[in-house]
A and B are shown apart, each in its own frame.
Chain A
Amino acid sequence: MNTDNTIVLKNSRLRRRGSPVGVLIYIILSMWALTTVYPFVWVIQNSFRVKKLIRSDSFSLPLGDSFTLDNYLTAFERVDIWGAYKNSLVISISVTVIVLILAALASYGMARYVFRGKEFLRSMIIASMMFPAFSTIIPVFRMMFNWGIVNTDSLGLSQLSVMLPQIAGNLSFAIVVLMGFIKSIPIELEEAAYMEGYSVFQILFKIIVPLAKPSFATVAIFTFLWSYNDLFTQMFFLRYKDTFTITRLLNEITSIAGVNYGLMAAAVVLVVVPVLLVYIVLQKNIIKGLTTGALKG
Chain B
Amino acid sequence: MNSVIYKRKTPLLVLLIPSYLFMTVFLYYPFIMNIVNSFSKITGLGTSSEGYNSPWYGNYVKLFEDPVMRTALWNTLIMMLMTIAFQVGIALVLALMVDSIKKGGKFFRTVYFFPIVISATALGLLFNLIFLYNGGMVNQLIEKLGGTSIDWKDSAHYLFTMLFPVMWQYVGFYFVILVTGLNNISRDIYEAAEIDGAGGLSRIRYITLPLLRNVLCVCLTLAITGSLKVFDLPWIMMGSGMPLDMSWLTGTYMYHQTFSMGDVDYGATIGIVIVVLGVVVSQAASRIFKEKDY
Contact = CB atoms under 8 A, between A and B. Distances in A.
Contact of B274 (A110, A135, A278): A135
Contacts of B14: 105, 201
Contacts of A133: 229
Contacts of B267: 138
Give the interface size bracket for B toward A.
35 or more
Contacts of B160: none
B51 interface: no
Nearest to A140: B30
B31 interface: yes
A78 B46 CA distance: 32
Given A35-B168, A43-B129, A128-B23, A29 B45 contact: no
Contacts of A113: 6, 9, 12, 15
Interface in A254-278: 254, 261, 264-265, 267-268, 271-272, 275-276, 278
Give the interface size bracket for A toward B.
35 or more
A114 B29 contact: no
Contacts of A91: none
Counting chain B CB atoms within 10 Å of each CB, the highest count among A59, A225, A268 belongs to: A268
Interface in B108-150: 108-115, 117-122, 125-130, 132, 134-137, 140-141
Interface stretch (B63-71, B80-88, B92-100): B92-100
B100 A14 contact: yes
Contacts of B15: 105-106, 108-109, 113
A128 B28 contact: yes
A86 interface: no
A136 B26 contact: yes
Contacts, number: 299
Contacts of B119: 228-229, 231, 246-247, 250, 271-272, 275
Interface of chain B: mostly helix, strand, loop or mixed: helix
A132 interface: yes
Contact of A201 (B11, B22, B218): B11
Interface string A104-127: 011011101111000001001100
B144 to A, nearest CB: 8
B101 A14 contact: yes
A132 B229 contact: yes
A286 interface: yes
A288 to B, nearest CB: 9
A102 interface: yes
Given A103-B19, A108-B15, A168 B27 contact: yes
B287 interface: no
A267 B125 contact: yes
Interface stretch (B52-60, B204-212, B230-238): B230-238
A278 B119 CA distance: 13
A63 interface: no
Given A201-B11, A268-B125, A291-B176, A135 B19 contact: no
Contact of B104 (A26, A102, A200): A26
Contact of A105 (B2, B16, B117, B177): B16
A109 B12 contact: yes
23 contacts: A26-B104, A28-B94, A28-B97, A29-B104, A33-B107, A33-B111, A39-B127, A55-B134, A59-B141, A109-B11, A132-B251, A132-B275, A150-B46, A167-B22, A168-B25, A187-B3, A200-B6, A231-B232, A261-B129, A268-B126, A272-B122, A283-B114, A291-B180
